[in-house]
């Protein structure tokens, strides 16, 4: 079973945003326990305060994210992926990030199994402590509810620890992307249609587990 989850976050810049020159999206989301996906999105790139300016500024933001999963699902084989993302500039100072996450390989639990787990939780009190990690330009955590959508029989055959979603910009080439992220053309081709990549295309950059 596959679930899709929309995630939106507004990032307020300290200056005006005339034009976004480049943007990339990283994440370190992972399953914690049986009912929580937790981690961060990392937004990096460059921009111009004025469209006609030749001067480019860089930006880097860390956006914590938590996704609560219903106890009706078995998450043992679950995987988290980014299905799509896009951005828009709001009021010249806010960068709105829109991300669509996909959680795949979920299994619906039997009713008896759910009942047993609820009874076990009633007998035990668990205190969850979360580290308050700080970094430059860190945003407050965004907690996203888990929403059920239609089932899918699609299964993922490859898994990787982390990945990037990079927007192909003017001056880029396939070779420059391969060199920048230290991957092979075959690996890049497994996740992208290399023949259709052009300026503005979103490219998935995998980083495989050993």
pTM over cut 0.95: no
Model pLDDT for residues 162-174, shown as the tens digit of each residue? 677 888 888 899 9
- φ, ψ of residue 174 to 5 degrees: the values are -55, -45
Span 133-155, average pLDDT:
37
> For domain 158-210, which CATH number applies: 3.90.1150.10, 3.20.20.70, 3.10.350.10, 3.40.50.150?
3.10.350.10
Confidence of residue 144 (pLDDT cuts 50, 70, 90): very low
Longest dimension (CA), the chain: 64
**Number of C-beta neighbours around residue 164 at 10 A:** 18
- pLDDT at residue 202 in the model: 86
- pLDDT at residue 120 in the model: 58
Token pair 């899709």 is at which residue? 4
Span 38-51, average pLDDT:
93
Residues 6+ apart with CB under 8 A from 208: 158, 160, 161, 187
Could you give the percent of the chain with pLDDT greater than 70?
74
Confidence of residue 122 (pLDDT cuts 50, 70, 90): low
Question: How do the domains of the chain map onto residue ranges?
Answer: 1-119+131-157, 158-210
Span 139-146, average pLDDT:
40
């Amino acid at each position: 079973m596959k679930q899709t989850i929309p995630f939106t976050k507004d990032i307020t810049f300290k200056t005006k945003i005339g034009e976004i020159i480049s943007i990339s999206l990283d994440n370190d989301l992972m399953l914690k326990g049986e009912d929580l996906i937790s981690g961060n999105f990392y937004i990096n790139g460059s921009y111009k305060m004025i469209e006609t300016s030749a001067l480019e500024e860089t930006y880097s933001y860390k956006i914590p994210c938590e996704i609560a999963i219903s106890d009706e699902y078995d998450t043992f084989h679950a995987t988290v992926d980014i299905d799509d993302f896009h951005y828009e500039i709001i009021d010249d100072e806010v960068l709105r990030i829109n991300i669509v996450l996909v959680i795949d390989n979920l299994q619906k639990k039997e009713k008896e199994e759910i009942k047993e787990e609820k009874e076990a939780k009633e007998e035990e009190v668990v205190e969850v402590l979360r580290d308050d990690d700080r970094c430059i330009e860190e945003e407050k955590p965004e907690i996203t509810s888990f929403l059920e959508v239609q089932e899918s029989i699609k299964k993922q055959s490859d898994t990787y620890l982390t990945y990037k979603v990079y927007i192909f910009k003017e001056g880029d080439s396939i070779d420059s992307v391969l060199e920048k992220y230290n991957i092979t053309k075959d690996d890049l081709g497994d996740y992208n249609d290399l023949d259709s990549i052009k300026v503005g295309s979103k490219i998935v950059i995998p980083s495989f587990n050993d």
